[in-house]
Amino acid sequence: MQSGQIRLNKVTKEWVIYAPSRRKRPQDFQQKSHNKQTSGILSRDCPFCPGNEHKAERIFLEMPSRHHKGWQTRVVLNKFPALTPDEDRERSKEGIYLMMPGYGQHEVIIESPDHHQDLATMPIEDVETVIETYHKRYVTLMQAHKNMMAIIFRNHGMKAGASLSHPHSQMIVTGMVPQNIRVREQEAQRYYDQWQRCVYCDILEFEQHHRRRVIAENESFLAFIPFAADVPFETWIMPKEHEADFGSISAIEKSHFALILKNVLTRLYDKLSDPDYNYVINTAARYKAEEPQIHWYCQISPRLTTPAGFELGSGISINPSLPEIDADFLNS
C-alpha cells in the first residue's frame, strides 16, 4: 500500500490528507447516474454481507443480533483507508511547507447483515446496537495517547459519497485536530469567557422553549433545524445534559440517542423520499473532553443542493429554504 501524507495549507492552516491507496477504487473520478438501488455492488459480491468475510481486511468487533444467530453489527478495517496506523506522527518540512505521515485509523461500521436494510427503516433495537457499536469503538480508539480526534460519520447515497449501498458508517481517527474543529472550540471558548455559559447549552435552551424549529424530543435529546442552517433540512441532535465527549454518554442516553436518530432519519426518508445525506458526530478532541464550553452533537446534512462558485469563493452558504419552513414540513 502506498504511504499517505498529510500536508498543511499555509494560507488556511487546514490539513489536507493525501491517500493514494483510495485511487484503487474503480469508481473513483467516474461520473455516474444517481440510483441508490444500482449503485455499488450486488449483495452476492458485497464485502459487507455474511458469507463474504474473506473479503474483510480485518474484523475488530462484532455485536450479536437480537433476532437470530450471528452478528448484527461488525467493525472492519477500511480496505481503502484515508489514514493508516502503521505511520508515525513526526512532522517534517519541505522548504517552507509542513507535512507529516498519514497516521490514523479508518474503520467501517457495518450496520446490518441485511444488504437492503437502512437506519431509517430497521427496528429500533438494531439502531441501538449501531449506537452501542459506535460507542465501544470510540472509547477503545481514544484510549491511545496519540489519537487526537475520532470522527464518526455516515454517508448515505451517492451524492453523499457512499460507494456501497450496504448500510454502513465509518470512523476515522487522526493524530492531529482539524482546523475547523479548533475554530469551533475557540469560538465556544470566547463565548464561555464572556458569558460563563456554554454556547450550545444556550442554543439548546432557546430552541427547546421557542420550539419553532424543533423536529423531535425525548428525555435526553432535542432534534432541531438550526437557526442558521447551511443546507435545507440540516438537523442537529443535541444532548440536553452538558457533555463535551460522545464517549461519556450513559447507557440510557445511548438508547435515547438511537430513538431520536431513527425518528429524524425516518422523517427525512418519508418526507423527502429517502434523500442522500451525511451525518457526523461532532465531539470533543483529546484533552477537551471535560471542558465546560464544548458540547457534542450529531449534525445531519441532506444533499439536496450543490455548492457553486460563490459558496466556494466566499465560504458563505446559500440556503434556498428557511429553517422554519423546513421544520413545518417535517412536522406536518
Strand partners of residue 151: 172
106 labeled binding residue: no
Catalytic residue, candidates 106, 156, 168, 256: 168
| Residue 150: closest CA among 245, 242, 243 | 245
Domain 5-17+39-176 shares a fold with domain 180-331: yes
| Residue 159: closest CA among 41, 277, 27 | 277
34 labeled binding residue: no
Domains of the chain, by residue range, sit at 5-17+39-176, 180-331
46 labeled binding residue: yes
Whether 168 is a known active-site residue: answer yes
| Residue 3: closest CA among 75, 67, 88 | 88
Domain 5-17+39-176 -> CATH class: alpha beta
Place of cell 432535542: 222
Half-sphere exposure of 142 (CA within 13 A, CB side): 23
Straight-line distance from the first to the last Cα atom of the chain, in angstroms, rounded to the nearest whole number:
51
Select the CATH number that applies to the domain covering 180-331 from these four: 3.30.428.10, 3.20.20.70, 3.30.499.10, 3.30.830.10.
3.30.428.10
104 SS3 class: strand
pLDDT of amino acid 25: 54
Measured CA to CA, the distance from residue 212 to residue 207 in angstroms comes to: 7
Contact indicator for 39, 155 with CB cutoff of 8 Å = no
Per-residue pLDDT tens over the stretch 139-158 = 999 998 899 999 999 999 99
Task: Per-residue pLDDT tens, the chain, 332 aa: give them.
Answer: 467 899 999 999 999 999 887 765 555 555 555 455 445 566 778 999 998 888 877 899 999 988 888 899 999 999 889 999 988 888 999 999 999 999 999 999 999 999 999 999 999 999 999 999 999 999 999 998 899 999 999 999 999 999 889 999 999 999 999 999 999 999 999 999 999 999 999 999 999 999 999 999 999 999 999 999 999 999 999 999 999 999 999 999 999 999 999 999 999 999 999 999 999 999 999 888 888 999 999 999 999 999 999 999 999 999 999 999 999 999 99
User: What is the CA 52 to chain-centroid distance, rounded?
Assistant: 26
156 labeled binding residue: no
pLDDT of amino acid 27: 54
